[in-house]
């Protein structure tokens, strides 16, 4: 590596290629010979780049933090609205779980993207109309009501995309960024939830040592509010610190793409063997559609991870077979 650095010292593109091939080795070898090449302007710029230490986590400014805190309070209020109004818990959450997450995220992206007042009013009206519609449906377990409750979060997710894409010219690029954001959101939210669950278990256990059982109170209030505010907190962390999860989602997709392919092939063979007809079983069809959405996500994040990198023929074949299935 040392000889290659010296050989390509005047070629910024080749140095970048060497750095990306093995960043830790490049840094170690570069720092070892810096005293010899320190007079070179390119070497000086690389020295500053390699020795620069940024903040591990950017907290943003006070105004941004205040907005996130206010939106988190709104999410916490929405998730506890049934207890405040005395609404049946099962009825409330089965119909309104999407309204705990998406209106708050919409407000955040509308603010940071400076969404036009016209779009805010139109989209806000849709949120209100949808909330009224889903809560006025009959209180029964009919197929129509169940399907409406299932598809409501998907419709709210599409409305959130309006605020994310915003009034930009390159809508295609921004739309792809929205899909990537959703993958990063799932990863970051999962990490926050796992950390929150560990903290909750420790807290409940410590109080039990004192002879105090706080599990029902804690999970019904603090735990539930914690789940509600997780998406907005995760979104803020992603927006302010893209380096935290910017490459986690594609790497996960790269690891799981061959595993998903094996599972899918085995599953399709099992369908043929069992003689199951997905078009005559609504529950089976819903699960199968969810599987297809997962496959699409794996394909998308694998492709985004591959962009700008050398083409791996095996990975291309894996993605091709996944897409044909």
Angle at 197 between CA 193 and CA 203, to 5 degrees: 140
pTM of the model: 0.72
CA distance 270 to 251: 29
| Residue 86, token pair as written in the block | 């005395």
Are 123 and 131 within 8 A, CB to CB? no
pLDDT for res 260: 78
pLDDT for res 101: 93
pLDDT for res 228: 93
pLDDT for res 76: 93
Listed residue (241, 243, 261, 264) closest to 253, CA to CA: 261
Helices 248-274 and 171-209, interaxial angle, to 10°?
90
Q: Within 13 Å, how many C-alpha atoms sit on residue 92's CB side? A: 13
Are 239 and 284 within 8 A, CB to CB? no
pLDDT in tens, the chain (325 residues): 677 887 777 777 778 887 877 676 787 788 878 878 877 888 888 888 777 655 555 566 788 889 999 999 999 999 999 988 889 988 999 999 999 999 999 999 999 888 888 889 999 999 999 999 999 998 888 888 888 998 899 999 999 988 888 755 556 667 777 877 888 888 889 888 998 898 888 888 888 887 888 888 888 889 999 999 999 999 998 888 776 666 666 666 667 778 778 877 887 787 777 776 666 766 777 777 777 777 777 777 666 655 545 556 777 777 777 777 6
pLDDT for res 115: 86
DSSP character at residue 286? H
Listed residue (115, 119, 83, 12) closest to 228, CA to CA: 83
86 Rama sector, left if φ>0, alpha if ψ -120 to 50, beta otherwise: left
């Amino acid at each position: 590596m040392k000889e290659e650095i010296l050989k390509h010292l005047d070629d910024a593109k080749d140095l970048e290629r060497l750095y990306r091939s093995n960043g830790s080795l490049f840094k170690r070898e570069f720092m070892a010979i810096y005293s010899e090449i320190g007079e070179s302007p390119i070497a000086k710029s690389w020295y500053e780049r390699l020795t620069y230490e940024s903040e591990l986590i950017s907290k943003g400014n006070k105004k941004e933090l205040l907005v996130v805190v206010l939106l988190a309070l709104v999410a916490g209020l929405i998730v506890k609205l049934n207890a405040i109004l005395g609404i049946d818990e099962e009825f409330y959450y089965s119909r309104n779980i999407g309204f705990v997450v998406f209106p708050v995220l919409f407000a955040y992206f509308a603010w940071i993207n400076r969404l036009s007042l016209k779009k805010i009013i139109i989209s806000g009206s849709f949120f209100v109309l949808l909330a009224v519609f889903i809560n006025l449906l009959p209180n029964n377990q009919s197929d129509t009501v169940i399907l409406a409750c299932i598809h409501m979060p998907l419709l709210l997710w599409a409305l959130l995309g309006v605020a994310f894409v915003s009034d930009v010219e390159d809508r295609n690029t921004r739309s792809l960024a929205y899909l990537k954001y959703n993958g990063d959101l799932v990863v970051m939210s999962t990490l926050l939830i796992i950390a929150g669950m560990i903290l909750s278990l420790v807290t409940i256990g410590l109080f039990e040592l004192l002879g105090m059982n706080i599990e029902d109170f804690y999970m019904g209030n603090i735990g539930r509010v914690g789940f509600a505010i997780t998406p907005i907190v995760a979104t803020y962390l992603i927006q302010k610190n893209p380096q935290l999860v910017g490459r986690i989602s594609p790497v996960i997709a790269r690891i799981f793409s061959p595993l998903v392919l094996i599972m899918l092939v085995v599953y399709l063979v099992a369908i043929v063997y069992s003689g199951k007809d997905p078009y005559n079983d609504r529950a089976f069809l819903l699960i199968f559609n969810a599987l297809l959405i997962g496959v699409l996500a794996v394909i998308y994040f694998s492709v985004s991870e591959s962009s700008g990198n050398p083409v791996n023929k095996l990975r291309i074949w894996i993605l091709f077979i996944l897409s044909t299935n």
